């Protein structure tokens, strides 16, 4: 954490002046302007808690980029340009386009910036489909069970879509998830998984064909040790794939160097591409030219012969060979707008700010809300070590979580709830401020003080 924050007194920490000073010193502060921040009027529900009506026109405190990133203004511009070209040129826009090489190659300009975010060569990544569809596509090609090696390892309480996808793949191959799905849970009394326990499971169970964890666990915010777990998986003969829904654009990734087999992610969370945006895929270069069976479609065919419309399928080298359909132009243009903002800011600068901003939020929760934490009104589930998390902190409220959530919303503090007891708060370095973090914690203090009065 930033020394200024680590050394500050409680009085300093909880003062607006201190938060404003941190914002003034933030070299990335200007990027907030690249985004549309919803006003409190639109997001505070039917009973907003405000001091005056003028407050309703102020921007909300949006701490929900883990669920849906805010709209980059550039994305709107790029999408509007595509409408204009569509209106002006119709089908000709596929080949002759004033803004880029045409819709037939709209995915190409995304490969370099996506590769930079996940630590991959452009040929190892592609935008395509949606996340769950990509998980299925990857399992169709990389989950090759045998009589002796057929299990899939995921984390307990994985995102439900991943759980369903994995279970259905097991069933498609004739296995019973009761027997073939290992859903690894934290130790009794702990909320996150220990790397040593994940490794032990992989080493001791000789029947695992596929390890497919999430890079960052959506509920707890834990960032797994991707490199270490991938290495052990390979030593034990497993294929190792990752769901990076909450990691991409949030945590540092080096998928190529870490020798990850495949990875999938969505783009509407930290990548700000808009709800239902186009997802992403990484397939390691070592598989670039193997023509393993896949869920093939014409967009995965070799580009040189794609439009010859022949019945023989010859895959494009690399990740592109797994594409199925021609990508949504609007979704792809929207994602490109966001990737341009990422490139302008630079990921390592974003990660430094993220560590500092989430560290500040954590420090505020530990000081301003110390009495409520001690009284058991809430606890922080997310690992305390910044190396083991992204920007999100998951707060566990054993009582009245939904009431607390509604009260935050009424104050224009937008987070998200995950039942049964968690509220996730994600300060995003591209558009959030230190003042946002302070406002969230002071609002929470207000709410907790009224729900659970603490006698002095
Ligand atoms: C957000 C998320 C999903 C959502 O899947 P879609 O196919 O994009 O609807 C799946 N898995 C994880 C881990 C997620 O965080």
CATH number of the domain within which 361 lies = 3.90.1150.10
Task: Tell the residue nearest (CA) to atom 8 of ligand 1.
Answer: 131
**How do beta strands 208-214 and 151-155 pair?**
parallel
Centroid of ligand 1 to alpha carbon of 191 (angstroms): 21
The answer to whether residues 18 and 114 belong to one domain is: no
The answer to whether residues 340 and 243 belong to one domain is: yes
Provide the pLDDT for residue 291: 86
Taking the alpha carbons at both ends of the chain, their separation in whole angstroms is 31
Provide the pLDDT for residue 3: 82
The answer to whether residues 49 and 129 belong to one domain is: no
> Is the residue at 333 inside a domain?
yes
> Is the residue at 87 inside a domain?
yes
> Is the residue at 4 inside a domain?
yes
List the binding residues for pyridoxal 5'-phosphate.
131-132, 159-162, 214, 243, 246, 268, 298, 326
* Domain end residue (candidates: 345, 365, 400): 345
Provide the pLDDT for residue 2: 74
Ligand 1 atom with the shortest distance to the CA of 243: 13
Domain range for residue 391? 1-64+346-451
Is the C-beta atom of 18 inside 6 A of ligand 1? Answer: no
The answer to whether residues 350 and 224 belong to one domain is: no
DSSP annotation of 66 reads: T
Determine if the pTM surpasses 0.75: yes
* Domain end residue (candidates: 309, 327, 345): 345
The total number of structural domains that make up the chain: 2
Task: Tell the residue nearest (CA) to atom 15 of ligand 1.
Answer: 245
Give the C-alpha separation, 107 to 336, whole Å: 9
> Is the residue at 69 inside a domain?
no
Centroid of ligand 1 to alpha carbon of 355 (angstroms): 24
Is the C-beta atom of 246 inside 6 A of ligand 1? Answer: yes
> Is the residue at 140 inside a domain?
yes
26-32 CB contacts, 8 Å cutoff, 24+ apart: 26/353, 26/433, 26/434, 27/349, 27/353, 28/345, 28/349, 28/350, 28/353, 28/429, 28/430, 29/433, 31/341, 31/344, 31/345, 31/430, 31/431, 32/430, 32/431, 32/432, 32/433
Centroid of ligand 1 to alpha carbon of 161 (angstroms): 6
* Domain end residue (candidates: 345, 374, 392): 345
> Is the residue at 366 inside a domain?
yes
**Other beta carbons within 10 Å of 21:** 14
Q: Which CATH number does the domain housing residue 247 bear?
A: 3.40.640.10
List the binding residues.
131-132, 159-162, 214, 243, 246, 268, 298, 326
The answer to whether residues 287 and 376 belong to one domain is: no
> Is the residue at 70 inside a domain?
no
CA geometry: angle at 211 spanning 381 and 281, to 5°? Answer: 90
Provide the pLDDT for residue 307: 87
CB 173 within 8 A of CB 150: yes
Ligand 1 atom with the shortest distance to the CA of 246: 15
Task: Average pLDDT across each block of 10 residues of the chain; the chain has 456 residues. List them in order.
Answer: 83 94 97 98 93 94 98 98 98 96 96 98 98 98 97 96 98 98 97 98 98 97 98 98 98 98 98 98 97 95 89 95 97 98 98 98 97 97 98 98 97 95 98 98 97 82
Centroid of ligand 1 to alpha carbon of 52 (angstroms): 39
> Is the residue at 456 inside a domain?
no
């Amino acid at each position: 954490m930033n020394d200024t924050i680590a050394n500050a007194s409680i009085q300093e920490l909880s003062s607006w002046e201190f938060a404003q000073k941190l914002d003034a010193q933030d070299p990335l502060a200007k990027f907030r302007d690249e985004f549309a921040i919803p006003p409190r009027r639109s997001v505070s529900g039917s009973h907003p808690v405000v001091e005056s009506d003028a407050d309703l026109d102020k921007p909300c405190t949006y701490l929900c980029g883990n669920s849906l990133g805010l709209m980059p203004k550039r994305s709107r511009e790029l999408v509007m340009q595509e409408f204009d070209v569509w209106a002006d040129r119709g089908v000709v826009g596929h080949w002759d386009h004033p803004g880029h090489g045409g819709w037939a190659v709209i995915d190409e300009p995304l490969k370099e910036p996506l590769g930079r975010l996940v630590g991959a060569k452009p040929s190892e990544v592609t935008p395509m489909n949606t996340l769950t569809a990509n998980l299925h596509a990857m399992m169709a090609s990389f989950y090759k069970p045998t009589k002796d090696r057929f299990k899939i390892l995921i984390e307990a309480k994985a995102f439900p879509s991943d759980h369903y996808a994995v279970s259905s793949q097991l069933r498609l191959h004739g296995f019973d998830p009761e027997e073939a799905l290992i859903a690894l849970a934290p130790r009794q009394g702990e909320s996150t998984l220990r790397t040593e326990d994940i490794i032990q499971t992989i080493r001791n169970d000789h029947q695992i064909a596929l390890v497919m964890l999430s890079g960052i666990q959506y509920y707890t915010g834990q960032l797994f040790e991707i490199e270490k777990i991938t290495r052990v998986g390979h030593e034990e003969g497993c294929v190792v794939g990752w769901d990076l829904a909450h990691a991409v654009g949030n945590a540092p990734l080096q998928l190529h160097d870490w020798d990850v087999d495949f990875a999938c992610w969505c783009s509407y969370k930290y990548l700000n591409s808009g709800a239902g945006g186009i997802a992403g895929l990484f397939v390691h270069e070592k598989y670039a030219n193997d023509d393993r069976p896949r869920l093939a479609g014409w967009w995965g065919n070799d580009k040189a012969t794609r439009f010859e419309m022949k019945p023989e399928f010859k895959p494009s080298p690399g990740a592109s060979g797994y594409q199925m359909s021609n990508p949504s132009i609007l979704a792809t243009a929207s994602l490109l707008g966001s990737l341009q903002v990422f490139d302008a800011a630079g990921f390592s600068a974003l990660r430094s700010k993220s560590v500092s901003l989430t560290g500040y939020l954590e420090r505020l929760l530990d000081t301003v809300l110390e009495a409520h934490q001690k009284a058991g009104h809430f606890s922080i589930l997310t690992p305390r070590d910044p190396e083991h998390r992204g920007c999100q902190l998951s707060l566990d409220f054993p009582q009245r979580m939904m009431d607390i959530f509604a009260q935050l919303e009424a104050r224009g503090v937008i987070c998200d709830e995950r039942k049964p007891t968690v509220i996730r708060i994600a300060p995003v370095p591209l558009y959030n401020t230190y003042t946002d973090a302070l406002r969230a914690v002071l609002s929470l203090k207000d709410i907790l003080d009224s729900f659970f009065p603490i006698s002095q």
